[in-house]
A and B are shown apart, each in its own frame.
Chain A
Amino acid sequence: EAGVAQSPRYKIIEKRQSVAFWCNPISGHATLYWYQQILGQGPKLLIQFQNNGVVDDSQLPKDRFSAERLKGVDSTLKIQPAKLEDSAVYLCASSLTRAETQYFGPGTRLLVL
């Protein structure tokens, strides 16, 4: 069974630029999560989707971050414009449905200069 796929794996941008991350969850998984992990800290939830609907985006900085999962499968997370403090690993996870084991992708390492 293929795992959660993410791309790109690494990205370096300058502050005020825009960046987008892509996630393809495990086939059939209805629930998708985006987490931000800053170096030395535990991951922090940014947004949770159930199919193509948002369940929880209370910790998403909506002035610069946006995410979508239009067809209930792949998801894109965008930052516009990026700040230095956005340097982190962005992790995507999926689960069969809510309250199930979450499977994590390899993450996208973002460095904002």
Chain B
Amino acid sequence: KNEVEQSPQNLTAQEGEFITINCSYSVGISALHWLQQHPGGGIVSLFMLSSGKKKHGRLIATINIQEKHSSLHITASHPRDSAVYICAVPRGSGGGADGLTFGKGTHLIIQP
């Protein structure tokens, strides 16, 4: 069973700050997911990555497969980035059971 740990659990920052959220997992995986959930809202997939780095707008996700660690960065943070950011990994070894095991999430608040 893969254990997913995220840090920090809560993060409050000022608008414009550079944000980093970390995720570590215990068992080797085929890919790691970063997702976003707004209060009372649905879950949106931000990234799925298996190596290196991906960028989308002001969001950057990196992964180090050897160290079993991933980071999500937000540049020039804005109050609309306030949400819960969740790291998730496939339950199985990649052969078919791709349902996700989720971390507990990072509650991010960006103050104007």
Contact = CB atoms under 8 A, between A and B. Distances in A.
B68 interface: no
Contact of B45 (A33, A99, A103): A103
Contacts of B44: 104
Interface in B56-71: none
Range of interface residues on B (Cβ < 8 Å): 20 to 34
A50 B86 contact: no
B98 A104 contact: no
Interface stretch (A16-24, A37-45, A79-87): A37-45
A91 B43 CA distance: 9
A56 to B, nearest CB: 4
Given A42-B86, A101-B48, A104-B42, A56 B92 contact: yes
B99 A45 contact: yes
B42 A98 contact: no
A31 interface: yes
B106 to A, nearest CB: 11
Interface residues of A, number: 26
Given A105-B42, A106-B42, A99 B94 contact: yes
User: Chain A's interface: helix, strand, loop or mixed, by majority?
Assistant: strand
Contact of B100 (A45, A103, A106): A45
Contacts of B41: 106
A43 B100 contact: yes
Given A42-B86, A99-B30, A104-B43, A56 B96 contact: yes
A45 B101 contact: yes
A107 to B, nearest CB: 6
Contacts of A43: 43, 100, 102
Contacts of B96: 50, 55-56, 98
A103 B33 CA distance: 12
A75 interface: no
A39 to B, nearest CB: 11
**Which 5 A-B pairs have CB atoms at the shortest separation, nearest pair first?**
A42-B102, A45-B99, A104-B43, A56-B97, A48-B99
